[in-house]
A and B are shown apart, each in its own frame.
Chain A
Amino acid sequence: MKAIELLPLGGLAAASAQDLAARLSRHVVVPCRVAAAPAWEARALPGREQLDADALLGDLEARASREAVLVGLTDRDIAIPIFTFVFGRARLGGGAALVSLARLDPVFYGLPPDPAHTARRAEVEVRHELGHLAGLAHCPDGSCLMSFAGNVERVDARGPLFCRSCREALPAWLRPPSEMS
């Protein structure tokens, strides 16, 4: 059975990653743990201050194994060349995902810090990317975890659960503990 390993990248506070692991554990039956932060090269997109999400994702995928899916966490803003930014990145059915907390933090928008709100958004975004790793495409139901979010308000609009249709397509390792008992 797979485990979910969170990798804090580039100085992201370990406490944030631990908190996120605890939140995720409530929703998945597999173990969620924080792995040791690897040495990594922060590569920015040419001409932009944002990190190259695809390059980072490639590094993470190289480390993934059959026993665990990896989720890289960074507090740096990330993007891919065709988009002005992305919240996260994962390939459908892949072995690793990347999530940036930068635009999930109210401070990015000039608002006061709100760690609880940021943590909730991070949890939602990580579960969304895990859904992509499980092969789920975007869902038209705006309250489903798999709905597309092009701005942070849409992230907030996602509910705490997958919709019925998406839930039925979840693999065993991504199902909640209550369903497996």
Chain B
Amino acid sequence: MSTPRGPEPGRTALRILVVDDEAIVRDSLLAWFRQDGHQVEVAASGKEALHLAAAARHDIALLDIKMPGMDGLELQQRLAAACPDLTIVLMTAYASVESAVKAMKAGAYDYIIKPFDPDDLSALIRRAAEHRSLRAENLRLKRSLDEVAAPPPLLGTSAAMRRVLELVHTVAASDSTVLVTGESGTGKELVARAIHAASPRRYNPLVVVNCGALSEGILESELFGHEAGAFTGARARHKGKFEAAEGGTAFLDEIGEVSPKVQVELLRVLEEKVVTRLGGTAPVPVDFRVVAATNRNLQEAVREGRFREDLFWRLNVFTIELPSLRERPEDVPLLAEHFLSRFSQAMSRKAMALSPATLEALRSYPWPGNVRELQNAVERAVVVSHGPVIEPDDLPLHVTGAPARPGPGSLALAEKAHVQSVLDAAGWNISRAARILEVDRVTLYNKIKRYELKKPS
């Protein structure tokens, strides 16, 4: 008997395992699938099938349900556990709805009744092959997405940061609302991104809303969307951030800044999972997970009547508190090296290093602006440094001139000094300074106004 030719152009040969206690079925399917150019192995029992599956990879398995000893349903479960990639089709001569339901619930790809219509069997094998191919491609794409979309790492070996990382991984798997608290610049958005990236929602959008940067009216429109004509300038329907986050995560930063009116609307959305666009009447169902962040003391705000207690409890399901950088000085060198590597690469500088004196200065400074301030300091140092080694002179004056121990002074004072320092370093170029401070231009103008900063004449 001549050997069948290999796979035809445009067709991939499948590795098929046929399990049936009847020889006529095994022999017929063996011949049939070989005629189609596939590689076929046959087994007369579940036990034999498990041995064959352990010895070689198969793409598709056809299992007879009614077999002595181990029946097809049990074999299917064992094969599914041992070979998760295997596509399993169950065969039976008895058109039983009950066994069909059992089979599909247990994860079988399909179910076919003997004797087969040749067309049906051929179509089934073709569909099963396409299903395998799509599943494999889906896995490949997801792996690529995971690599490309991986958020910047949450760095830190301190006990406090290890605890944060544990909490992130614990809560990521659930759909619980998370409230991230911590001073400004501690990395609250990074935590939100890390939670999203580790969650089942990671292949859907992560939508970020800075609640503190928007006026009440604009925040409402951003969050809930609007219909055409809802207000002057609303020419077309606009979907809000909650709709945009469908299936994914909505990160509400500076949640403590939200006005009482928007707090009410927000509570309704979180409780009922529907949004009504401004100017609209029909509620739109939404599905997203909420991560909120604040640097304010929300419980104090609740006591003072500035924040709704019911909204607080709706948000405060799972809290992650980020330590300030001064509470984990042992992480400063690691973070500084990370930023140094990033910025020196971005600025095409050759390998750079931090001198021991620089590291000591960095460790000693209390970092009221936390990680963001450290990042900015390192970026500035890379810009101004003449050589490959960062010396203390390359750091902002307030960093090297600050006392070794945290001294008196408000956060506002520290922020004012820092903003002034960055503006001076950027030559009062607002765009450049805003970029270094990682705020938008409006926010920077507000701070210049608030602190009455002036450009040196």
Contacts and interface: CB of A to CB of B under 8 A. Distances in A.
Contacts of B28: 54, 80-83
B2 A134 contact: yes
B297 interface: no
A28 to B, nearest CB: 18
Contacts of A137: 4-5, 8, 34-37
A85 B1 contact: no
B31 interface: yes
Interface residues of B, number: 30
Interface in B5-21: 5, 8-11
B5 A169 contact: yes
Interface string A70-90: 000000000111111110000
Contacts of A91: 1, 31
A2 interface: no
Contacts of A112: none
A139 B1 contact: no
B120 interface: yes
Contacts of B123: 150
Contacts of A169: 5
A135 B1 CA distance: 8
B1 A138 contact: no
Given A82-B29, A83-B118, A92 B8 contact: no
B17 to A, nearest CB: 16
B44 to A, nearest CB: 15
B117 A83 contact: yes
Given A80-B28, A134-B2, A151 B119 contact: yes
Interface in B106-121: 114-121
Nearest to A85: B118
B24 interface: yes
B154 interface: no
Contact of A92 (B34, B115, B121): B34
Contact of A81 (B8, B25, B117): B25
B429 interface: no
Contacts of B2: 92-93, 134-135
B122 interface: yes
Nearest to A144: B8
B36 to A, nearest CB: 5
Given A54-B28, A137-B8, A150-B122, A94 B117 contact: no
Contacts of A94: 1
B36 A138 contact: yes
B232 interface: no
Contact of B24 (A82, A138, A141): A82
A173 interface: no
A141 B37 CA distance: 13
Nearest to B120: A150
Nearest to A139: B8
Interface string A137-159: 11111000000101100100000
A82 to B, nearest CB: 5
Nearest to B38: A137
Contact of A132 (B8, B35, B118): B35
Interface string B119-158: 1111100000000000000000000000000000000000
8 contacts: A82-B114, A82-B115, A83-B118, A132-B35, A139-B8, A140-B11, A148-B118, A150-B117
Given A140-B11, A150-B119, 12 more contacts: A81-B114, A83-B28, A83-B121, A92-B31, A94-B1, A135-B3, A137-B5, A138-B37, A139-B8, A148-B122, A150-B118, A150-B123
Interface of A: 54, 79-86, 91-94, 132, 134-141, 148, 150-151, 154, 165, 169
Interface of B: 1-5, 8-11, 22, 24-25, 28-29, 31-32, 34-37, 114-123
List the 7 shortest-distance A-B pairs measured between CB atoms, nearest first. Answer: A150-B119, A135-B2, A93-B2, A93-B1, A150-B118, A137-B37, A137-B4
